[in-house]
Amino acid sequence: MPRISPSLLKKASSIRPGLHLLIPECRSLQQATLEYKWLSEELPPEKSILWACLQRYNHVPLQYILGSQPFGALDIICKPGVLIPRWETEEWVMELITTINNSTLFNHETPLHICDTCTGTGCIALALNHGIPNSTFTAIDISKKAIDLVKLNILKNKVGKGRLIQRNILTSTPSNVPPLHIDILTGNPPYIRKRDFNRDVKTSVRLFEPKLALVGELEFYQNLVEHWLSKTDSFFYEIGDTGQFDYVETRIKSDSKLSQSWSIGLKYDSNGKPRVVYGFKNNSKGARLLPLFENFGTLKHLATTETGAK
Ligand SMILES: C[S@@+](CC[C@H](N)C(=O)[O-])C[C@H]1O[C@@H](n2cnc3c(N)ncnc32)[C@H](O)[C@@H]1O
């Protein structure tokens, strides 16, 4: 990372007291000025701007200082101990909402049930529930802090009540998780490889966000294939590299039953990075989803349709 020049720090401190303290985290005067503006507009009245700038200098994430992060139409409360929602997640979740709502294939009179694993603040579950008329949701997380925060986020955002479950999804079977049938399964599991953690993760994340939410190998994708596919008509799981997509694709393709019943695709984010592995079942509902999800990302594997066509 390039070093910061003393003249930039001097320039910043001459513009506003404390502004220079934001430069190390923001890396540019433009970004620091924008953050300063957010801090001065949104900081709770009992906190001083100089205190906030010092927190930022000590790498505390902005969202923990301000207490929230916008996510689509929602304002998600953020607290230490629970991962802050990222723009990459917001991006695909918003596209998923638009894709579903633009489709005449969904009859909003029949409720769609969403199940969100590794829910954290609940941002994905609540945004989908808020954006898709007549939907219901279940949100699951291992962490009590996360589940408590989802409750606050439901109240704050006036989202309909969902079912919240505190559970380790790797050690419990989804058959114990209500409801029996899921229309849309989502998840943003911990997916930063242990070997990449120190190299790729920035200081503020490493110091202040929970490692439990960040570090994972392939176990959540294995859990998806082995335990959740039988319960849902479609799934959308965030990924951090193509290895995670390849794993899901290989597992599905190499299983004759799964390969016949699931079409899967890969979605890139607007930075050109692989971001979502998704799939839908080749049942009567799933087959009708095909045109919809052709535009969501790139379909890599098409299950043989009920009529035999590819
Ligand atoms: C990457 S965060 C995602 C949070 C949120 N969905 C989002 O997109 O901002 C992963 C979440 O998975 C949860 N988690 C980690 N291991 C888990 C497990 N074995 N079972 C259930 N949840 C788990 C963490 O507590 C954390 O909230």
Instruction: Give the percent of the chain with pLDDT over 70.
Output: 92
Residue 118, phi-psi category: left (phi > 0), alpha (psi -120 to 50), beta (remainder): left
Confidence category of residue 2, pLDDT binned at 50, 70, 90: confident
**Beta-strand runs (E) in the chain:** 68-71, 74-77, 112-117, 135-141, 163-166, 184-187, 234-238, 262-268, 274-281, 298-301
Confidence category of residue 307, pLDDT binned at 50, 70, 90: very low
Q: What is the mean pLDDT of the chain?
A: 92
The alpha carbon of 214 and the centre of ligand 1 are apart by a number of angstroms equal to 8
pLDDT at 288: 67
Give the lowest-confidence range in 8-12, 40-44, 270-274, 280-284. 280-284
User: Which one, of 173, 128, 166, lies nearest residue 147 by Cα?
Assistant: 166
The alpha carbon of 100 and the centre of ligand 1 are apart by a number of angstroms equal to 24
All domains of the chain, ordered by start, with CATH?
6-58 (no CATH), 69-301 (3.40.50.150)
**Helix orientation angle between 123-131 and 87-101, rounded to the nearest 10 degrees:** 20
pLDDT at 203: 93
Q: Which residues line ligand 1 (CB under 6 A)?
A: 83, 85, 89, 118-121, 123-124, 140-143, 146, 168-170, 188-190, 212-213
pLDDT at 103: 76
Residues 297, 281: Cα–Cα separation, whole Å: 16
Residues 30, 179: Cα–Cα separation, whole Å: 48
11 C-beta neighbours (distance < 10 Å), count: 14
